Amino acid sequence: MLQLNQNRWTFFHLLCRCPLDKSVADCPLNKRRKETVLDNYFFATKEASENEIDQVLEYHCRCFKERRNERLFKKKHSV
């Protein structure tokens, strides 16, 4: 059985779905999501290079923080 490290599991889950419901237009996984059918996500994860995974995870962390802060700012100022 294939052993996946934590980064690959995170990549796999991000490939399946953006945790913020809708990905932004420049998300690096949008192209992969369009090209890869759900049944092949595991294979796509296995074939992704460590460099691609690292870039996607760095992007995701930055994007998540920015979007979370935007939501918190909107919530705070709408009260």
In tens, the pLDDT along 8-40 reads: 999 999 999 999 889 999 999 998 888 877 778
Residue percentage of the chain with pLDDT more than 70 = 87
- Contact at 8 Å (CB) between 57 and 11? yes
- Over 70: is that where the pLDDT of 76 sits? no
Say if 61 falls within a structural domain.
yes
Check residue 1 and give its pLDDT: 37
**Residues spanned by the domain of 36:** 6-78
pTM greater than the 0.85 cutoff = no
Q: Total structural domains in the chain?
A: 1
Residue 1 falls inside a structural domain: no
- Domain contains 12: yes
Cα 53–62–20 angle (5° rounding)?
Answer: 90
Residue 21 domain-assigned (yes or no):
yes
Cα 31 → chain centroid: 12
Three-state SS string across the chain, please?
CCCCCHHHHHHHHHHHCCCCCCCCCCCCCHHHHHHCCHHHHHHHHHHCCHHHHHHHHHHHHHHHHHHHHHHHHHHHHHC
